[in-house]
């Protein structure tokens, strides 16, 4: 079945494309929520009656609020905000210990191209945007002194400590993927036979029988914007996340700087347009998409090909300034590219 390569309804980097069901009974139940200051959350589930679905949506809303209250750096009373201020938590939520552990493991696996301690760099660039100037070498040095996953420890009892003052956590790189995973888990527990959660463009899908079921169709927004999609991925089950430089950026003196930094240097990434990753879960897809974006075309391609659990589409600029695209071998037969891209 072919799907029109037209931009549909969302400004998110990844767009879910509906497919035509055989009968009305095959149509999913749907609901929409919001989190993190208005980020849209779209839920779809098959195999549930309305009462069970409504209850699941209520549980998802409560769960996401619980997690947001724990990790948001915009809430001064969140556990993460308290840790960032140097406070010691009397009791560390198990969810937070889990997130820090997973994020630290991925940071090590990706040689620091993904790192949850980038908050000092985020704060520096926000200040510089407000003052319309670039960071100085001294400011880079001061911020980078407090960046590095190795500065964060998760102890056997789940408590979290920092090796030095000034270290700050930022879960912006995995929060949406985590929320999508949690939503899908609750829909599955409610009895769904097939379900999907999209949180601000990060998508996690699941179905009981991926081999027999219709694959989900996920569109990749064109990195240069506009109304066209770059392509469509068929996803039997799992997560799909895109990191790109086209919707969020720092504008300073008329120049746009990518909002994704290399945690090792503090500098915004250059010459990458977008990275779309599909893998088992949203947390991993979210983190890997950011890490591969930071790695760049050549190193990112090598990383993907060494990791069997990851498939990806990389779009960047070559040395001659021309667009270069890479589709991992396991994804070639599941991607329909826009011929007009």
Distances from the Cα of 301 to the Cα of 108, 316, 329, 331, angstroms: 18, 11, 11, 13
Please check whether residue 144 lies inside any domain of the structure: yes
For residue 247, the model assigns a pLDDT of 65
Three-state secondary structure call for residue 152: strand
CATH number, domain containing residue 93: 1.10.3980.10
Please check whether residue 183 lies inside any domain of the structure: no
For residue 225, the model assigns a pLDDT of 66
* Total-model pTM: 0.89
For residue 33, the model assigns a pLDDT of 92
DSSP secondary structure letters along 236-255? SSEEEEEEESSS-EEEETTE
Domain range enclosing 114: 80-162
Please check whether residue 98 lies inside any domain of the structure: yes
Give the pLDDT confidence of 5-20 residue by residue, as tens digits. 222 333 344 455 544 3
For residue 23, the model assigns a pLDDT of 39
Backbone angles phi, psi at 303, to 5 degrees: -65, -45
Show pLDDT as tens, one digit a residue, over the chain (341 residues). Answer: 232 222 233 334 445 554 433 334 578 999 999 877 788 999 999 999 999 999 999 999 999 999 999 999 999 999 999 999 999 999 999 999 999 999 999 999 999 999 999 999 999 999 999 999 999 999 999 999 999 999 999 999 999 999 999 999 999 899 999 999 999 999 999 999 999 999 999 999 999 988 878 899 998 888 776 667 889 999 999 999 999 876 667 788 888 888 898 999 999 999 999 999 999 999 999 999 999 999 999 999 999 999 999 999 999 998 898 989 999 999 999 999 887 77
Please check whether residue 255 lies inside any domain of the structure: no
Query: How is residue 164 annotated by DSSP?
Result: S
Count CA within 13 A, CB hemisphere, residue 107: 24
Q: Determine the Cα–Cα distance for residues 242 and 106; give it in Å rounded to an integer.
A: 17
Tell me the torsion sign for CA atoms 82, 68, 181, 224: negative
For residue 212, the model assigns a pLDDT of 77
Q: Please list, in sequence order, all residues whose beta carbon lies within 8 angstroms of the beta carbon of residue 328, skipping any fewer than 6 positions away.
A: 301, 304, 305, 310, 311, 312, 313
Give the pLDDT confidence of 64-99 residue by residue, as tens digits. 999 999 999 999 999 999 999 999 999 999 999 999
Please check whether residue 192 lies inside any domain of the structure: no
Largest CA distance in the chain: 64
Three-state secondary structure call for residue 183: helix
Q: Determine the Cα–Cα distance for residues 149 and 68; give it in Å rounded to an integer.
A: 21
For residue 15, the model assigns a pLDDT of 52
Please check whether residue 143 lies inside any domain of the structure: yes
Q: Please list, in sequence order, all residues whose beta carbon lies within 8 angstroms of the beta carbon of residue 155, skipping any fewer than 6 positions away.
A: 161
Please check whether residue 124 lies inside any domain of the structure: yes
Structural domains counted in the chain: 1
Query: How is residue 67 annotated by DSSP?
Result: H
Cβ pair 83, 73 in contact under 8 A: no
Please check whether residue 320 lies inside any domain of the structure: no
């Amino acid at each position: 079945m072919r799907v029109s390569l037209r931009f549909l309804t969302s400004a998110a980097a990844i767009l879910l494309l509906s497919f035509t069901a055989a009968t009305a009974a095959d149509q999913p139940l749907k609901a929409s929520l919001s989190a993190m200051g208005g980020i849209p959350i779209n839920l779809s589930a098959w195999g549930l009656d309305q009462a069970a679905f409504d209850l699941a949506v209520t549980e998802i809303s409560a769960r996401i609020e619980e997690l947001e209250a724990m990790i948001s750096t915009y809430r001064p009373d969140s556990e993460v905000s308290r840790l960032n201020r140097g406070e010691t938590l009397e009791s560390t939520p198990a969810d937070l210990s889990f997130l820090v552990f997973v994020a630290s493991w991925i940071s090590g696996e990706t040689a620091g191209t993904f790192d949850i301690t980038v908050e000092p760099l985020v704060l520096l660039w926000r200040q510089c945007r407000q003052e319309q100037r670039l960071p100085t070498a001294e400011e880079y040095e001061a911020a980078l002194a407090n960046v590095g996953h190795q500065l964060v420890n998760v102890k056997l009892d789940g408590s979290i400590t920092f090796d030095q003052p000034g270290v700050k956590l930022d879960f912006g790189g995995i929060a949406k993927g985590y929320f999508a995973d949690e939503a899908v888990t609750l829909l599955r527990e409610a009895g769904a036979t097939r379900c999907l959660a999209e949180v601000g463009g990060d998508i996690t899908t699941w179905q009981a029988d991926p081999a027999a079921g219709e694959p989900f169709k996920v569109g990749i927004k064109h990195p240069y914007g506009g109304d066209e999609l770059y392509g469509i991925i068929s996803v039997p089950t799992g997560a799909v996340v895109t990191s790109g430089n086209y919707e969020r950026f720092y504008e300073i003196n008329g120049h746009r700087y990518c909002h994704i930094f290399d945690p090792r240097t503090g500098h915004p990434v250059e010459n990458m347009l977008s990275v779309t990753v599909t893998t088992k879960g949203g947390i991993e897809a979210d983190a890997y998409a950011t890490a591969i974006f930071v790695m760049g075309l050549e190193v990112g391609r090598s990383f993907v090909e060494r990791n069997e659990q990851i498939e990806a589409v990389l779009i960047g600029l070559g040395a001659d300034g021309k667009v270069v695209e890479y589709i991992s071998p396991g994804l070639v037969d599941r991607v329909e590219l826009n011929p007009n891209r």
